[in-house]
């Protein structure tokens, strides 16, 4: 181990690694297979896929098991793995209108086009801890077939109706700039919207929720009234160009969560006769993340550079978590120099500053 | 069946059925050349967001691709995940169909089976979801 003025310790580090492997892999309980993890801990698996920026359930499950359930560590493992993989293709542009919904709610309107589909949710269930003695008895019930219409599985989005009523600010310019690739270079402010959306899509969920909550209720004071127009979880098709025909070919589907947030505009120089629309989309089923993303998308547009700067610089879990983790590494030399400074201050006699040093101001 | 439709269905087929069919295809001593060996990698997924109708990169999806030549006719496959054997077998099946070789009909039959299975799975999924359609009441 070599790090800022400390080295050695290799034998102890290797022993610690062996200890982790032994306690994890040889715990006196049944092995947690990959299918067990994807089926029973699907939300954790989805969160890992989203924060890692790589969609593949078995890969995320392997990482989740290796990381002993630590989702951020698992996302770190998956990102490290992804960095070793070649890029086979760039997909054809995915149109989110093609989503086959597994869940879809429109909090803004009771009877939108298409169903209010609760799907697989415990949103309306009391939080009572269940402590079963063992696995539940098999349930052989097979639901009776139900006829389905395309509008039920691919409902028209609520914002389309608002657009028809001319109630939405129109941000469509007809331009379609090349999207920013956050896997190739870091997004730093000022950044194009594609960089902000991509950064949020693979942000650490808690960081994104925390930043959104701070932005509306915290010291930033960006008080705004948001209603959700869509919250969806469903499958989207992934297409690439067929190398022989040049035409798009669907190679599979991936699940994603999508949110549209409607903002009641009331600020200076804003069109008070219309709503603004924020957008959130992330891999897997992660509604908290998608909702926070949609709200922050609007907030960035309304409250501008300072929020975008905080967002781009702080929401990546590997960035923030990595910096935090590094604090556990030996800091003997830097701390000794601090002690030396304290002792030096005593000899000069200037113990208290008249003014704060640069960077002391923290909102 | 168009090549795109066949590629889509072979991408959804089970590994075992692909490998079994590919093995049968090669059993007659056909000349096989692997043009692109099975390779696992990422498909960068771009999405057109509906607010400004601009693209952004949502993330990567893990995929695997292969390309072969069977008796001088190309076959290609790309599937999600990292199953190299399945993608190679799918490419062989695609070439078998493209070349109109003896098992082209079996490849088409496999595709029809996969399509029927997908439709059945979607119907079963909807049967479980449909009871969760809700109509909340509005308080006056």
Co-location of A295 and A159 in the same domain: yes
Rounded to the nearest integer, the mean pLDDT of chain A is 92
How far is Cα B113 from Cα B12, in angstroms, rounded to an integer?
11
Binned at pLDDT 50, 70 and 90, residue A143 comes out as: confident
Do the domain assignments include residue A363?
A: no
At residue A145, the pLDDT reads 86
Do the domain assignments include residue A261?
A: yes
**What's the domain count of chain A?**
2
**Taking 90 as the threshold, does the pLDDT of residue B140 lie above it?**
no
CB proximity list for B71: less than 8 A, separation 6 or greater? B30, B31, B99, B101
Co-location of A101 and A34 in the same domain: no
Co-location of A60 and A113 in the same domain: no
**Taking 60 as the threshold, does the pLDDT of residue A58 lie above it?**
yes
At residue A222, the pLDDT reads 62
How far is Cα A230 from Cα A116, in angstroms, rounded to an integer?
10
Residues of B in contact with A82 (CB under 8 A): 42, 60
pLDDT in tens, A84-105: 999 999 999 999 999 999 999 9
CB-nearest partner of A91 from B46, B124, B132: B46
| B133 to chain A: closest CA residue | A117
Mutate to test the interface with A, among B1, B58, B84 (most CBs of A within 10 A): B58
Co-location of A283 and A243 in the same domain: yes
Does residue B121 belong to the interface with chain A, where contact is any CB pair within 8 Å? no
At residue A218, the pLDDT reads 60
**Taking 70 as the threshold, does the pLDDT of residue A361 lie above it?**
no
**Taking 60 as the threshold, does the pLDDT of residue A1 lie above it?**
no
Do the domain assignments include residue A47?
A: yes
| A118/B39 CB distance under 8 A | no
**Taking 60 as the threshold, does the pLDDT of residue A252 lie above it?**
yes
Q: How far, in Å, are A268, A276, A291, A298, B25 from residue A301 at the CA level?
A: 14, 9, 16, 5, 58
State the smallest CA–CA distance between residue A216 and chain B in angstroms: 22
Binned at pLDDT 50, 70 and 90, residue A260 comes out as: very high
Residues of A in contact with B51 (CB under 8 A): 171, 277-279, 297
Do the domain assignments include residue A242?
A: yes
Token reading at A135:
């696995």
pLDDT in tens, B71-125: 999 999 999 999 999 999 999 999 999 999 999 999 999 999 999 999 999 999 9
Which of A228, A196, A217, A218 shows the shortest CA–CA distance to A315?
A: A196
pLDDT in tens, A194-216: 999 999 999 999 999 999 988 88
State the smallest CA–CA distance between residue A337 and chain B in angstroms: 43
Token reading at A77:
């493992």
Element (H, E) at B41: strand B32-49
Range of the domain at A31: 12-82
**Taking 60 as the threshold, does the pLDDT of residue B25 lie above it?**
yes
Co-location of A269 and A158 in the same domain: yes
Q: What is the mean pLDDT of the segment spanning A250-260?
A: 98
Alpha helices (H) along A27-132: 34-40, 42-52, 57-66, 71-82
| B50/A102 CB distance under 8 A | no
Supply the pTM of this predicted model: 0.94
State the smallest CA–CA distance between residue B102 and chain A in angstroms: 22
Q: Which of A347 and B39 is assigned the larger pLDDT?
A: B39
At residue A223, the pLDDT reads 64
Co-location of A199 and A101 in the same domain: yes
Residues of B in contact with A175 (CB under 8 A): 54
Co-location of A56 and A161 in the same domain: no
| B80/A252 CB distance under 8 A | yes
At residue A353, the pLDDT reads 79
pLDDT in tens, B43-74: 999 999 999 999 999 999 999 999 999 999 99
Q: How far, in Å, are A54, A134, A218, B54 from residue B51 at the CA level?
A: 24, 48, 27, 8
Q: Which of A81 and A349 is assigned the larger pLDDT?
A: A81
CB-nearest partner of A279 from B49, B125, B138: B49
Residues of B in contact with A282 (CB under 8 A): 58
Residues of A in contact with B42 (CB under 8 A): 54, 82, 85-88
Residues of A in contact with B53 (CB under 8 A): 172, 174, 176
State the smallest CA–CA distance between residue A195 and chain B in angstroms: 7
Do the domain assignments include residue A251?
A: yes
Which percentage of chain B shows pLDDT scores above 70? 100
Co-location of A101 and A19 in the same domain: no
State the smallest CA–CA distance between residue A276 and chain B in angstroms: 9
Least confident stretch, A232-236, A333-337, B117-121: A333-337
At residue A362, the pLDDT reads 52
How far is Cα B114 from Cα B9, in angstroms, rounded to an integer?
6
Mutate to test the interface with B, among A244, A261, A278, A295 (most CBs of B within 10 A): A244
At residue A150, the pLDDT reads 72
Residues of B in contact with A177 (CB under 8 A): 54
State the smallest CA–CA distance between residue B5 and chain A in angstroms: 7
Co-location of A312 and A221 in the same domain: yes
At residue B29, the pLDDT reads 92
Binned at pLDDT 50, 70 and 90, residue A220 comes out as: low
Co-location of A20 and A100 in the same domain: no
At residue A230, the pLDDT reads 97
**Taking 70 as the threshold, does the pLDDT of residue A29 lie above it?**
yes
Co-location of A205 and A302 in the same domain: yes
What one-character DSSP code corresponds to residue A189?
S
Q: How many CB pairs under 8 A join A and B?
A: 221
Which of A278, A265, A287, A106 shows the shortest CA–CA distance to A209?
A: A287
Binned at pLDDT 50, 70 and 90, residue A360 comes out as: low
Do the domain assignments include residue A162?
A: yes
At residue A156, the pLDDT reads 96
At residue A269, the pLDDT reads 83
| A179/B46 CB distance under 8 A | yes
* Beta-bridge partners for A237: A253
Which percentage of chain A shows pLDDT scores above 90? 76
Co-location of A56 and A164 in the same domain: no
Q: What is the mean pLDDT of the segment spanning B15-35?
A: 96
At residue A8, the pLDDT reads 86
Do the domain assignments include residue A126?
A: no
Least confident stretch, A5-9, A202-206, A293-297, A308-312: A5-9
Residues of B in contact with A115 (CB under 8 A): 133
Q: What is the mean pLDDT of the segment spanning A137-156?
A: 84
CB-nearest partner of B52 from A97, A173, A178: A173
At residue A265, the pLDDT reads 87
Do the domain assignments include residue A285?
A: yes
CB-nearest partner of B63 from A145, A171, A251: A251
């Amino acid at each position: 181990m070599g790090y800022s003025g400390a080295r050695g310790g290799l034998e102890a580090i290797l022993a610690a690694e062996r200890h982790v492997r032994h306690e994890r892999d040889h715990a006196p309980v049944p092995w947690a297979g990959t299918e067990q993890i994807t089926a029973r801990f699907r939300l954790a698996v989805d969160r890992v896929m989203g924060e890692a920026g790589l969609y593949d359930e078995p890969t995320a499950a392997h990482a989740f098991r290796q990381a002993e359930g630590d989702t951020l560590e698992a996302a770190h493992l998956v990102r490290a793995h992804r960095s070793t993989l070649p890029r086979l293709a760039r997909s054809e542009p995915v149109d989110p209108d093609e989503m086959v919904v597994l869940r879809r709610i429109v909090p803004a309107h009771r009877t939108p086009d298409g169903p209010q589909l609760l799907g697989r949710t415990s949103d309306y269930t009391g939080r009572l801890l269940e402590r079963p003695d063992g696995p539940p008895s098999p349930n052989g019930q097979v639901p009776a077939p139900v006829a389905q219409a395309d509008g039920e599985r691919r409902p028209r989005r609520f914002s389309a109706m608002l657009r028809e009523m001319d109630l939405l600010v129109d941000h469509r310019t007809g331009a379609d700039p090349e999207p920013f690739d956050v896997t190739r270079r870091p997004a730093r402010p000022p950044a194009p919207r594609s960089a902000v959306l991509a950064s949020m899509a693979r942000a650490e969920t808690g960081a994104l929720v925390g930043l959104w909550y701070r932005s509306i209720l915290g010291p930033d004071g960006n008080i705004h009234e948001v209603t959700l127009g869509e919250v969806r979880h469903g499958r989207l098709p992934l297409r690439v160009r067929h190398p022989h025909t040049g035409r798009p070919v669907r190679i599979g589907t991936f699940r994603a969560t999508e949110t549209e947030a409607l903002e009641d505009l009331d600020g200076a120089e804003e069109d008070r006769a219309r709503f603004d629309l924020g957008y959130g989309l992330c891999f897997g089923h992660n509604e908290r993340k998608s909702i926070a993303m949609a709200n922050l998308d609007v907030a960035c547009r309304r409250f501008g550079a300072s929020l975008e700067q905080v967002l781009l610089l702080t929401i990546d879990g590997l960035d923030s978590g990595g910096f935090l983790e590094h604090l556990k590494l030996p800091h003997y030399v830097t701390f000794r120099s601090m002690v030396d400074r304290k002792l030096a201050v005593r000899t000069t006699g200037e113990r208290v500053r008249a003014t704060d040093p640069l960077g002391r101001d923290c909102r | 069946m168009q090549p795109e439709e066949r590629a889509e269905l072979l991408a959804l087929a089970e590994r075992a059925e692909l490998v079994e069919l590919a093995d049968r295809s090669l059993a007659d001593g056909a000349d096989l050349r692997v043009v692109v060996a099975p390779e696992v990698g990422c498909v960068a997924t771009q999405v057109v967001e509906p607010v400004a109708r601009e693209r952004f990169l949502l993330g990567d999806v893990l995929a695997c691709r292969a390309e072969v030549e069977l008796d001088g006719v190309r076959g290609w496959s790309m599937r999600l995940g990292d199953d190299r054997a399945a993608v190679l077998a799918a490419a062989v099946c695609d070439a078998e169909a493209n070349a109109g070789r003896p098992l082209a009909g079996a490849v088409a039959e496999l595709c029809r089976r996969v399509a029927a299975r997908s439709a059945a799975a979607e119907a079963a999924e909807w049967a479980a979801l449909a009871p969760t359609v809700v109509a909340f009441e509005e308080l006056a």
